[in-house]
Structure 1
Amino acid sequence: MRRVERPAPGGQNADLRGWDAPGRSAARFLRLVRIFSGIQPTGRKHLGNYIGAIQHYVAGQDAGESIYCVVDLHATTVPYDPRELRERLYDTAAILIAAGLDPERCILFRQSDVQEHSELSWLLSSVTAWGDLNRMHQFKEKSAAQRDLVSASLFTYPVLMAADVLAYRATTVPVGDDQRQHVELMRDIAERFNARYGEILVVPDGQFPEVGARIMDLQDPARKMSTTGGSVEGTVYVLDEPKAIEKKLKRAVTDSGTEIRAGADKPGVTNLLDILAAARGTTVAEAQASMADARGYGDLKAATAEAVIALLDPVRTRYEELRTDEDRLEAVLAAGADKARAIAADTLADVRRVMGVGPAR
C-alpha cells in the first residue's frame, strides 16, 4: 500500500503516533492513497464502459490500494430480472478480471456481500438534504422512464453510492464524466458529517478520464453510448467479435465535408477521434495528426476499428476462459468481500460511536 503526504485536518501532517486513537480515523487515513469505484452488473458492457471506467480500474492497481465493487444493490433500484442480475454479475466480474484486474493486487467484491454499505447508507441519510437528492440529474432521467413505479431507492441511490465510497475512506474515485454530480454530493455528505460529528470520514476526490470521457453512440453522436438508451448498431460491446466491431465502425455516422479534425461542429468525427485516441492510449491531437495523410473518413473508420479490435480482442478471449467457471468467480468475490468487510467494519464502528448508535465501545 502506497502512502503519500497529504495534509491532515488543521493543515498539519498527520502524526504516525496515535493513528489508532479514537476520533482520529480520518486523519490517519489521509496518508493512504485508496481508490474505490463501483460498476453496475446490468446490461452488456460496451466500449464507453471499458474506456471510461475499466481501463482506469486496471491502472489504479499500481496507483495505490484499489477497491472495486460490482454494485448489485444499485441494480435493484429499477425493474430487473433476478436471474439475469446474477448472470450479469458473473459477466461483469469475468470482464473485469479479463481486462487485467488481479484479485491479488486489488480488492474485487460484490456489494451485497458487505452489509456495512446498507447500514452506512441509512446513517448517512440523516446528513443528506432532500433538496440535494431532488436535484440529481440521473434521478430525473431514470424516474421519467419508469411507467409503473418510481422507487424510493432510486431517489436515495446517491446516498448508497456515497456510502460505497465513504465506507472505505477512499481518497480517489475514478468515475465517468456523467458521475460528477454524484461525487460532489458524496463530498458534501462527508463534509457535513464531519462538521457535525468530528473528523471521521475522508472527503474523496473524483478522478475523471481526460481522453474518452464521453464515448458517443456511433449512429447518434449527440447521445452517449449506452446499452439502454442507445442503438445496437451504434454500440460497440466489449465482447463483440472483431468483424462486428469493424462493421459498426465502418457504418459510423460522420459529418459533412472531408476534413478530419475534432470540433463542436464535427461531432461524428470528434467521436471517432476520441475513440481512436483512447484505444491507442494517445491524445486526441496525436490521433488527429496521425490521420493527416488519410484519404477520407473511410481511413479514419478503418484505423479506429483496427485500434478498437486490438484493444478488446484479448479481453474477449480471456473472458471466454473465465466465464465458464462460476465457482472460481464466486471464490474471488467472496475473498474480496472478506477483505472489504474488514475495512468497512472499522469505518462503520467509528460512525456508530460518534452518532451514539448501538452499545458504547
Structure 2
Amino acid sequence: MSKKIFSGVQPTGNLHLGNYLGAIKNFVELQNEKENQCIFCVVDLHAITVKQDPKELKKNIRETAATFIACGIDPVKSIIFNQSMVSAHSEAAWILSCVSKIGWLNRMTQFKEKAGKDKEKASIGLYSYPVLMAADILLYDATHVPVGDDQKQHLELCRDIAQKFNNDFNVMNFLKVPEPLIQKQFSRIMSLKDGIKKMSKSDPSDLSRINLTDNKEEILNKIKKAKTDPLPLPREIKGLAQRAEAENLLGIYSSLKNQNLESSINEFNGKNFSEFKSKLSEILIEKIEPISKEIKILLDNKEYLDTILLEGSNKADKIASKKIKEIKELVGF
C-alpha cells in the first residue's frame, strides 16, 4: 500500500551518526519504496524556538539540505524544502493552536526537559512547538510519520488535534490522522564517551560523536578513543546488561549492517574490543566517508542547494496552500 510520508529535521548544523541512523537512512529507504510519496522538510521555524545566529541558521539550512542529498534523498523523487518558505505552516499552526487544549501541551515531556527548571524564561514557541509540528504533518495529508522515541508523544498530540478539528467542524477525515512509522532493528545512538547519554551536537567533546562531515582519520581516531570496558564482548544479549558502551557500539554496528543485535553478538562473541573496533571503523568509513565528501562538494555549490530548496518549496506550497484554503473556509474566514 502506498504511503504519504512527511518528516522534518532541524537545521542545527553538524548532523551526526545519530541523525543518520535515527532518521535520514530511514528516509532514503522509505523514498526508495516504489509507491511512497515522501516530503522532507528542513524545519527552520522549529529551530528558532531557541535563539539562533541568523548567518549560522542560513548556513545550517543549506547544510541540512546538502546532508539529505548526500545521504541519498533524491530531490526528483522526493520533495525537499524549508518550512519558512511555505507560509501555510505558520497559518495552520495558529488555527490549530486555537483548537488545541492547554492540558494537552502541559503533558509534553520534551518541553519540560528543554525548558529546564525555569519554565518562565522559556519562549512561547518552545511551548507550542508541537502544534506547529502537527500543522507541518496535517497540511500534506500525511498517512505516516517516521518517529523516534522522543517524538512519539508529539505525534499522539497531532492525532488528537486532527480528530478534534474534524469533530469541531463536523468534517469526518478532513484532517488525515497519521500513523507512526517506527524503525525495526534500530538502536538509539548514544555518546561515544558515555553510553547512557544520547549522541548530541551540543556535547562539548567532538570525540563523543561521529559527524557526517568527518573524514576517514577522524572516524578512526574517534572509534579508537570510544569508551569501552575491560571485558570481552558477550556471547548473548543478556551479557550486555550494565554494559552501556558495549551495547551502544554493537548497536551502531548492527544498524550500519542492517542486522539485529543478536547477529552482531554472534559475530563477535568472546572477542576483544580492539578487533571489534577495527571492523566498526571499517563499516563507518565505508558508509560515512562518501557522505562526508559529497556534503563538502554540495556546500561549495550554494546556488544548486538554493535552487533545490526553492523548487521543493514551490512544490510543497502547491499542496499546503490548497489545504490551508480549505481549512480557512471551514473556520469561516
TM-score (norm: length of structure 1): 0.86
**Are 2:310 and 1:310 aligned?**
no
Q: Which amino acid counterpart does residue 59 of structure 2 have in structure 1?
A: E
Could you tell me how far 1:101 is from its partner in structure 2? 0.9
Cα deviation code 1:273-299 (max 9, x no counterpart): 1100111121111111111363x1112
Could you tell me how far 1:312 is from its partner in structure 2? 0.6
- Contact 1:42–1:85 under 8 Å retained in 2: yes
Matched residues in 2 for 1:331 and 1:88: separation?
16
What residue is the counterpart of 2:276 in the other structure?
A: 300
Could you tell me how far 1:145 is from its partner in structure 2? 7.6
Query: How many residues of Structure 1 are paired with residues of Structure 2 in the alignment?
Result: 326
Match of 1:182 among 142, 154, 158: 154
Tell me, what secondary structure is at the counterpart of 1:228?
coil
Structure 1 alignment gaps of length 5 or more? 5-31
What residue is the counterpart of 1:56 in the other structure?
A: 26
- Contact 1:43–1:228 under 8 Å retained in 2: no
Deviates more, 1:183-192 or 1:145-154: 145-154
What residue is the counterpart of 2:100 in the other structure?
A: 128
Would you tell me which structure has more helix in proportion to its own residues?
A: 2
Matched residues in 1 for 2:24 and 2:59: separation?
19
Go from structure 1 to structure 2 and tell me whether the alpha carbon gap of 1:327 and 1:187 turns closer, same or farther (over 3 Å shift): same
Matched residues in 1 for 2:258 and 2:162: separation?
34
Tell me, what secondary structure is at the counterpart of 2:111?
helix
Cα deviation code 1:237-282 (max 9, x no counterpart): 1111111111111222223522335433221111011100111121
- Contact 2:253–2:280 under 8 Å retained in 1: yes
Could you tell me how far 1:232 is from its partner in structure 2? 1.9
Matched residues in 1 for 2:282 and 2:120: separation?
44
Matched residues in 2 for 1:277 and 1:107: separation?
29
- Output aligned runs, 1:203-242, within 5 Å: 203-229=177-203, 231-242=205-216
Tell me, what secondary structure is at the counterpart of 1:102?
coil
Match of 2:318 among 342, 349, 352: 342
Matched residues in 1 for 2:125 and 2:246: separation?
39
Q: Which amino acid counterpart does residue 206 of structure 2 have in structure 1?
A: V
Structure 2 alignment gaps of length 5 or more? none
Q: Which amino acid counterpart does residue 298 of structure 2 have in structure 1?
A: L
Match of 2:54 among 55, 67, 82: 82
**Are 2:94 and 1:117 aligned?**
no
Q: Which amino acid counterpart does residue 259 of structure 1 have in structure 2?
A: L
**Are 2:168 and 1:191 aligned?**
no
What residue is the counterpart of 1:248 in the other structure?
A: 222
Matched residues in 1 for 2:218 and 2:286: separation?
13
- Contact 1:177–1:213 under 8 Å retained in 2: no
Tell me, what secondary structure is at the counterpart of 1:317?
helix
